[in-house]
Amino acid sequence: MSTSQVAGGHKVGDLLLRVVVPSDLVAQATLNNPKVSEEAKEHSRQELSHLEQSGALDEARASRDGPKNDGNVIGGHKANLKNPNTSEAAKEQSKQFLSSKGADM
């Protein structure tokens, strides 16, 4: 786990977040939350600035936007086929994707 993925100690109200998520997302969420104190928002601004200067923010974004796990993508398309709230057009797109990957439906 990279340091850019560990969000530790961003205080949101009385909730202390200690979860594995990209730090930039936690900091941005903190900045946009009206229930967060100005002190916590300033801390998040400093964290974002530090991540930008160290290059860790670019690394985190690259890993988040990088290649996806094929098994997870295929599983998502299979779930889409069984979801009653999914449109027929979306189901057709999932069928085409699964067919192109040679996956069972």
Q: Is the per-residue pLDDT at 18 higher than 60? A: no
Report if pTM > 0.85: no
Note whether 30 and 41 are within 8 A (CB).
yes
pLDDT digits (tens, 9 = 90+) for 61-99: 666 666 678 888 899 999 999 999 999 999 999 999 999
Given this model, what pLDDT does residue 6 score? 38
Query: Measured between alpha carbons, how far is 47 from 29 in angstroms, rounded to an integer?
Result: 13
Structural domain spans, the chain: 3-65, 70-101
Report helix, strand or coil for 11: strand
Dihedral (CA of 75, 76, 78, 84) sign: positive
Q: What are the angstrom distances between the C-alpha of 22 and each of 2, 19, 47, 89?
A: 9, 9, 12, 33
Q: What are the tens digits of pLDDT across the range 19-54?
A: 344 566 666 777 788 888 899 888 888 877 877 787
Res 95: pLDDT: 93
How far is Cα 40 from Cα 64, in angstroms, rounded to an integer? Answer: 25
